[in-house]
Amino acid sequence: MVDAQTLEHTKLSTRLLAGRDFLVKTPQCVSYLKQMHTWLTTGSQGALVHGRPRLGKTSATRWVLKVIPNLIGNFPVVEVPIRDQHIASERAFFQHLLRCIKHREAMKGSAGDKRDRFSEWLIARAKRSPINAAVLFFDEAHLLQDHQYSWLLNIGNELDKNGCRLFCLLVGQPELADKKLKLIEDGMEQIVGRFMVRELEFSGISSQLDLVATLTEYQETIYPIDSDTLFAENFIPLAVRGGFKLNSIGPAMWASFEKLWIHFRIDKEMSIPMHYFTSALIGTLNSLVKHDAHSLVVPQETITDSVNASGYKDSLRILLASLDKYKRTNSRS
């Protein structure tokens, strides 16, 4: 039998890992936010944001889009997941977009009706925003096809005609950068020129400083929202009340990740995807539950175990393999 408290911890852990429940401002998020601010206020119409899986691109994007209205005012945003969708036809594509905005009439009419219905929805809202723009956030955008880009181009033109702007935020895996080159090769510079001029490569936590800063964010976070409980208090209330600071485990945690990186001898700058960081943090906190005390000392072992169990090791193995493969392909050609 699982006790109620453990159940609560499990629930919290899975929510955090799914990136659903709350978004934490990492240093990477902050620079992403600065970029986005520039793009949206300088008239850009799209940007590529790419990086390896599990870096926390989706969460970071959500966080940026949630925060940025405070800086530049409200604007409509639609998050469009591309994975596993049957959106090959224009009718299905726009129906998918309509369903993303929970449109009452998503299923009715022809492809043209659906496109017009969607652009009407966007324009009506973009016109009311101070930046006169609407943002479409495509998650897993590397799965988008050429013709889908050209449909987006049409929507963009429709917004242009009416004095507002469509901004397509294309977030996906590194293939997205390759896609850009391929589109140029295939003579579709128009799409590149419109949506892909701006680019941001997303990396994970890449320094001890970043890692400590991220931990500090977690440390300050209140959870659940509207309570007066600090995030860590959900696990180790006595320790937190005794003055325990979450960021104090930063150096130890960084050392554990670094050890793995060195072990695989990867010839790149080190980076820890958010997912593994979060996983290691939650692992650590869960192990600390039973040791909770007013003056808590966190053993290095606990942290190392959690980092080892976070899945980071496997991800590095895959990374190494793909780098090798990349090298081999390049040397052959």
Our finding on whether 127 is near other proteins (CB under 8 A) is yes
Torsion of CA 114, 118, 120, 125, to 10 degrees: 170
Distances (CA, A) of 108 to 78, 115, 147: 20, 11, 22
DSSP 80: E
Closest contact distance (angstroms) between CB of 330 and other proteins is 39
| Binding of other proteins by 120 (CB under 8 A) | yes
Q: Give the total of residues touching other proteins (CB under 8 A).
A: 30
In this chain, which of 5, 71, 89, 113 binds other proteins, going by CB under 8 A?
113
Query: Given the structure tokens 């016109």, which residue do they identify?
Result: 127
- Tell me which residues in 134-193 interact with other proteins (CB under 8 A): 137, 162-163
CB of 118 to other proteins, least distance (A): 8
Compare residues 114 and 180 and give the one whose CB is closer to other proteins.
Answer: 114
The span from the CA of 239 to the CA of 199, in Å, is 43
- With CB under 8 A as the contact rule, which of the stretches 28-36, 112-120, 252-260, 298-306 interacts with other proteins? 112-120
> Stretches 39-47, 109-117, 267-275, 291-299: which one binds other proteins (CB under 8 A)?
109-117
Sheet holding 165-172, edge to edge: 77-81, 133-139, 165-172, 46-50, 198-201
Q: Is 71 in the site for other proteins (CB under 8 A)?
A: no
The residue with tokens 């401002």 is 25
Q: Which stretch binds other proteins (CB under 8 A): 49-57, 98-106, 260-268, 303-311?
A: 98-106
223 and 282 Cβ atoms separated by less than 8 Å: no
Determine which residue in the list 21, 35, 72, 79 makes contact with other proteins, applying CB under 8 A: 79
Alpha carbon distance, N-terminus to C-terminus of the chain: 59
What one-letter code names the amino acid at 49? V
Is 270 a binding residue for other proteins by CB under 8 A? The answer is no
- At how many degrees (to 10) do helices 250-264 and 208-220 cross? 140
Tokens read off for 295: 């003056």
Q: Based on CB atoms, which residue is closest to other proteins, 158 or 217?
A: 158
Question: What are the residues binding other proteins (CB under 8 A)?
Answer: 62, 65-66, 77-79, 100-105, 108-109, 112-114, 116-118, 120-121, 123-125, 127-128, 137, 162-163
